[in-house]
Amino acid sequence: MGIRMYSTVSCIKYDNGSMVPSSHDVVMEVPLAVFVNGRHALTAMVSPTMLEEFVTGFLYTERIIKKPEDIESLRIEENRKEKGTDTLSASVLTKDPFSIMLSGKTVLSGCGGDTSYVDADRLPKIQSDLVTDVSTIKDIMKETLVSDLHTRTGGIHIVGLFGLDGKICIIEDIGRHNAFDKVIGYGLKHGVDFSRTIVTCSGRLSSEMVRKCLMANIPVIASRGATTTLAISMGEQSELTIIGFVRSRKMNIYTGTERIKNEERF
């Protein structure tokens, strides 16, 4: 990618009773304002990489576009510095100029944004015959969590997309929802059949993470972290497989257990 995702800053380090001048690598966070057909759709706080993928994935999961070809043009621009911080903007033109717009919301890096809807009767159901096993889930989670950037900064989320033949992409961002949108955008640009994929995540599985799976028809999502009751309820209703606490020889399979075979490779 070639774009630096962290900056070295000075600090005072306290260690065992002593305070000494030092420095630390800190992950970068920049605002990205997205305009669709001339209207402000949202401002997201993101890591400054794979921005076209982020915008494509976000517009897809929000159903502003149905396929990447619905985007007539997408331009990323760097704006003037405000208080020393670069600001970025994305200008999108769609083939349908009357695409439904969002209400100019701000998406913070910590959470990601509001769930568009959680009405069980309106949730799409997963359409997939994918079946995998516990060894595969453990292996791809381990592969996902290998991150020099996280080791260096301690401040990044990681989302991976895997197919039956292995890794499709692993993407890092300050927000797990941002990283997931980038993964979906990458998949769309590369013609991935999402119904044959598994998503892995370093952080909590929220209702918004589940919703993005449903919008993209991704049948399995697994995380090293916890999940929420609403995410589980949505997963049960939509036949999504949700797996949490994938660590060493353990995991919790909350929904869609029929997709996970009890097979381990020792």
Positions annotated as catalytic residues are: 111
User: What's the burial of 38, exposed, middle or buried (CB within 10 Å: 0-12/13-18/19+)?
Assistant: exposed
The Cβ of residue 145 has, within 10 Å, a number of other Cβ atoms equal to 17
Rounded distance between C-alpha atoms, residue 215 and residue 5, angstroms:
28
- Rounded Cα distance between 56 and 61, Å, is 9
| Alpha carbons 196 and 46: distance in angstroms, whole number | 28
As given in the structure block, the two tokens for residue 4 are 């630096």
The answer to whether 142 and 125 have CB atoms below 8 angstroms apart is: no
**β-strands 18-27, 220-223: how paired?**
unpaired
DSSP 88: E
